[in-house]
Structures are given as C-alpha cells and as structure tokens.
Amino acid sequence: MIIAPRTVKLTTRTGIDIQRTLPHRYIRTIGAWCFIDHFGPTEQENAMSVVAHPHVGLQTVSWLFAGEVEHRDSLGSIQIIHPGELNLMTAGHGIAHSELSSTTAGLMHGVQLWTVLPESARDGAAYFDHYNDLPVFKKDQLDIRLFVGELFGHTSPARTFSEMVGAEIDVPAGTMTQLPINESYEYGLLVVAGDLRVNDEQVPVEYLYYQFLGSEEFKIESTGGAKVVLLGGVPFGEEIMMWWNFIGRTHEEIEEMRLDWESQSNRFPAFEDQVHGRIPAPAMPNLRLTPRGNVSSS
C-alpha cells in the first residue's frame, strides 16, 4: 500500500507545513510507530516555534536531516539536536515540552515520529534521552544510520519498550538491490528526497510505502538517488485511543489528561523556555471516543 501525505499546519506561529502519513484511515500503527510527520526542507530561521504542550502514553522521536532545534521540557531538559542525533522523549504518565529552531542560516529538514507505549510502560515515569553516537554502516549499496532498534547486526542504544526499528537510509544513484527484512515485522518506507521504486512501484517524495507482515525483502531501485526513513516492528496488539497529544485506552482517561493540562496540574510542571506560551487543549468531541487498531494488518 502507498499512502499519500496530508498537509497539516504546524502552528499559527510559523509558516511551516507538515506532511503527515500516519495515522492513516486504514493503517493506524506500523509496529509501535503511530505518528509520522515530515517537515521541510525549509529555511531554518523562524521555521519552528512550538510553545509548551503536553504528551501522555507515547514517545516522541525527533530526527533531523538538516538544521538544528532546541528542545526544553518539564523535566528541566535543554538540548539542541543536530542531524544524525536522536532526541527521544518518553512521556509516560505525562510531560510537557517546547521546540524552537535556531536563527542560523541554512535549511531545516526532518521527521517527528511517535511510538505508542505498551500497557506495561504507558503510565510510568517520564524520561528525556539524547543520543549522539549511533550506529552508521553500509549494507550493500546503502548507507544506513540506525536510530532505534536492531538492524543487520547493529543495535541502537535508544530506550524502547517494543520490538521495533527506525533508520535513515541513503540510496545512491543507480541503485538496484534487495534489502532483507524481518518477516515478523510490518514496515513503512517514507521517501523524504529523491526518486525511489519499491517492489517495482514508484513511491513519490513524502509518500509512505507500507509493507504487510510476511515479506522477506524489499526490492529497492533509484535512478538519481534517494533518502528514506525505514520504520518497522512487531504489530502492536493493543487497541488505543489517540486524541490530540495523548494516547490512552478509554474516553475517561483522555478526558482526565485534558483536564490535567487545562488546570495546570502537577502532572505537567511548568518550565522556562525562549518560546513563551502554552497551547490550550482543544474541546473534547461531542461523541464518545472509542479505541481503534489497524483496519488492515495482513
């Protein structure tokens, strides 16, 4: 399945548009990956200014191809991320953070990803981890940066709670190769630049190629070269509710998360940053939220 992106405005404070491919009407998760946003390339200055906002029940996975962004959160973390580095924020019971792109010249380009936390970890303590020493290696013609999980004998140090993989792959011009994959995983290949054919299908830039369980390889071809993000994992077996920045299991849980943010409870401690402000939660819908899994999973 090839999934087309939908355009989402990041915030009213910036001009940047986001191309979102997950969640999708038919594909809610790829392993534990539950959210895929692709942004840029765009001018770095004033590209991103996201004021404080909450998360519960998930991890945010921030990965850049160009530019730099400062992260601050309610744990007191302050971290600038550069290309090839990983910012991994585990929300657990609750965390708030903000993001601000630097004022340096040049381009900003990257992805913002979420993973859903399983029942055993979703109400745990919050963490923020930064990794600047990640596996970089070659596989046949491909140049790979592994940021999450295991791939071809290499292991990322990133803290995870499900069996999954995430990697940036540079595909040289003139590539024709077979990429072995784990048949117990489902996969997504997001094209972020260049031209790519996967299993004889052309996948446009910003589109996501979804691969069901049971396949042993991807057939990868590129005429002019490409950059892709590989995401995969064992299918996530729990039904979940994703609403705004929260992932829960019941309507009542989501209501409680929203109320805690709006009432400025100690679930989300205040913190200082350079952005200043706070995103209010949207109103709850006029219908009862129900849990959802993948419509198609085989």
Domain boundary assignment for the chain: 2-233
CA–CA separation, 221 vs 202, rounded Å? Answer: 9
pLDDT the model gives residue 298: 38
Q: Per-residue confidence at 10, pLDDT binned at 50, 70, 90?
A: low
Share of the chain above pLDDT 70, in %: 96
pLDDT greater than 90 at residue 292: no
| Tokens standing for residue 154 | 């290499």
CB 169 within 8 A of CB 229: yes
* Residue 32 to residue 164: CA distance in whole angstroms: 7
**Of residues 132, 123, 119, the one with CA closest to residue 90:** 123
Which amino acid is located at 162 in the chain? S
Q: Domain 2-233 in CATH: superfamily?
A: Jelly Rolls (2.60.120.10)
Mean pLDDT of the chain: 93
Q: Answer yes or no: is pLDDT of 41 > 80.
A: yes
Give 30's DSSP letter.
B
Dump pLDDT digits (tens) for 236-279: 999 999 999 999 999 999 999 999 999 999 999 999 999 889 99
Q: Under 8 Å CB-to-CB from 176, ≥6 apart: which residues?
A: 220, 221
Task: Write the DSSP symbol of residue 264.
Answer: T
Tell me the per-residue pLDDT of 132-184, one tens digit each, with 9 for 90 and over.
Answer: 999 999 999 999 999 999 999 999 999 999 999 999 999 999 999 999 999 99
Distance CA 206, CA 7 (A): 10
Quick one: tokens of 5? 């992106």
Q: What is the DSSP letter of 103?
A: S
The residue assigned the tokens 């790829």 is: 30
Cα angle 176-177-179, degrees, rounded to a multiple of 5: 145
Rg (CA), the chain: 19
Full-model pTM: 0.94
